[in-house]
A and B are shown apart, each in its own frame.
Chain A
């Protein structure tokens, strides 16, 4: 047990050393971290409440005002501060994205491990379900699902509906990935030996399978969160968000509906999009770097200059 811990710790510090050298990975981490911090400390960072109307000296609302000292990113059609909406919107976008991402990851990992480890009927069911979900166009399916759930008048927040629908639709690719990984791990010698000395399924999964697929799970979670944030913004843009708690996508929906484009109010429709790109790009960079560090197949390339080739062969020979 203790030995496992220290091994894990050493791996982690090795990992961090390698990660620190990767500039793109650091950039990704920075982008994601700043967004999380902004969402956490939203009240400290925003001069107004997101619903507050800024008024001029005569008491009239400052509508469609360009950026100024009063409102750093200008105001929307009702005279509300865009910057404050953006910061508070981070809370909504990130919460929905992270929750949906975690649900997808949890369901995907569970199905993937069960299907890969036990095979048989669970495996068959998984493959059928993923086959079906893989080809049904996801946006129309989600729109139809969300519309149906809303029509049922369940008295739950639109955001909960979004989390559930996104989380329960985006687990399939993860499940397949993990399944294939588990399939190779369970055939390895150490698993067979463990079984031979009488280890149970739960023990094998916990002690041998989980530690091996953990990197895969982490990488995938990061990537799925970025997908979830993008998808949420899209659904909110099409009008399925919570109008009382606007996410970045919902802000863009307002901006588009209230013709910010024809009014030339670029401060209204540009910032929310940049915010979305900021976070998703951060997640993707982070995820890609993690993947690169964990996938050895990407190191061989036979048309590259000879020096690299020799280096690779040397590594192989050692």
Chain B
């Protein structure tokens, strides 16, 4: 359902644009005759009504993975997207995993020891992390990291190392990945910590916690056996919901660190007004986030038997 809406939005938005695809193909070559232009229009199907003919034509093309040709790079959009996909997945994956591990642990501690120094520190940190613009944190870390630790300021590997086998460039790769990953982790850490904290607080106000405490279990046993599992449930949904947020973060961070991924590509397409590329990137990002959300819903039902009954 949502996928259909996204596809529809994508189609509508880019049909609203006054740019004529034929004009884009022929570029500034004004000598092409009116007949040739007409022929090209027919070839692209632009002489047919927008709905349903053009819509379903376009849909068919997208379904086959044909997203058109990038205006600025003169290469098929899907090919360009695929070449950047892994770089972004590497960055996002690393940042997310680290953020979840640290965030859940700290959130658990903060919720358990509510109103202590740990809790106050965790809360302050996550508040500030929330209020800081992603790109600004990136800029600060970039400035500090390059000035004080001599870390590289752009790219994924040094130019000298491109094309060499992965094993030999691993240290260089790590040096390049360090700052962008750190930025991502700091930003999302706060988010997970807050969610985990409020989730554990919710669980701790339940009566079965009081019961298990009354039974004589220690705090650790209560947390481990009864609280953690239930408190983790919102995290699962939020990992998926956060994915959209993560994609936004990737656009900022890749722009700041000149990291050669989908986010940087998106920003470049925006600046260069490369609409086929922009459209393709948007479609890919939106659809993958939606699919991840569906997967999370299914997972949630497996983890929480209460959901299945309704």
Contact = CB atoms under 8 A, between A and B. Distances in A.
Given A143-B270, A273-B132, A148 B252 contact: no
A147 B270 contact: yes
Interface in A262-304: 262, 264, 266, 269-270, 272-273, 276-277, 280-281, 284-285, 288, 297-298, 300-304
Contacts of B131: 226, 230, 276-277, 280-281, 284
Interface in A126-143: 128, 131-132, 134-141, 143
B213 interface: yes
B133 A153 contact: no
Interface in A250-265: 252, 255-256, 261-262, 264
A302 B135 contact: no
Nearest to A255: B139
B5 A151 contact: no
Contact of B248 (A138, A145, A151, A304): A138
Interface stretch (A55-63, A208-216, A231-239): A231-239
A234 B133 contact: yes
Interface residues of A, number: 53
A35 to B, nearest CB: 13
Given A136-B6, A151-B17, A266-B143, A144 B282 contact: yes
Interface of A is mostly: helix
B267 A140 contact: no
Interface string B79-117: 000000000000000000000000000000000101100
Nearest to B293: A135
B270 A136 contact: no
A267 B5 CA distance: 45
A145 B16 CA distance: 11
Size category, B interface: 35 or more
Contact of A303 (B135, B213, B273, B293): B213
B158 to A, nearest CB: 17
Interface string B3-19: 00110010001101111
B112 A136 contact: no
Interface string B206-217: 100110010000
Contact of B205 (A128, A276, A301): A301
A135 B133 contact: no
Contact of B201 (A137, A147, A151, A301): A301
Contacts of B112: 303
A145 B286 CA distance: 14
Interface string B200-230: 0110111001100100000100100000000
Nearest to B249: A139
A238 B279 CA distance: 17
B289 interface: yes
A135 B290 contact: yes
Interface string A138-163: 11110111011001110000000000
A188 B281 CA distance: 49
Nearest to A150: B273
Contact of B13 (A131, A145, A272): A145
Interface of A: 128, 131-132, 134-141, 143-145, 147-148, 151-153, 226, 230, 233-234, 237-240, 249, 252, 255-256, 261-262, 264, 266, 269-270, 272-273, 276-277, 280-281, 284-285, 288, 297-298, 300-304
Given A284-B127, A285-B127, 19 more contacts: A134-B241, A135-B293, A136-B6, A136-B286, A137-B243, A140-B251, A141-B9, A148-B13, A233-B133, A238-B270, A261-B142, A276-B133, A297-B205, A298-B201, A302-B205, A302-B210, A303-B112, A303-B213, A303-B219
Interface of B: 1-2, 5-6, 9, 13-14, 16-19, 112, 114-115, 127-128, 130-136, 139-140, 142-143, 146-147, 153, 201-202, 204-206, 209-210, 213, 219, 222, 241, 243-245, 247-248, 251-252, 255-256, 266-267, 270-271, 273, 278-279, 281-282, 285-286, 289-290, 293
6 contacts: A131-B1, A137-B286, A140-B247, A145-B13, A276-B133, A303-B209
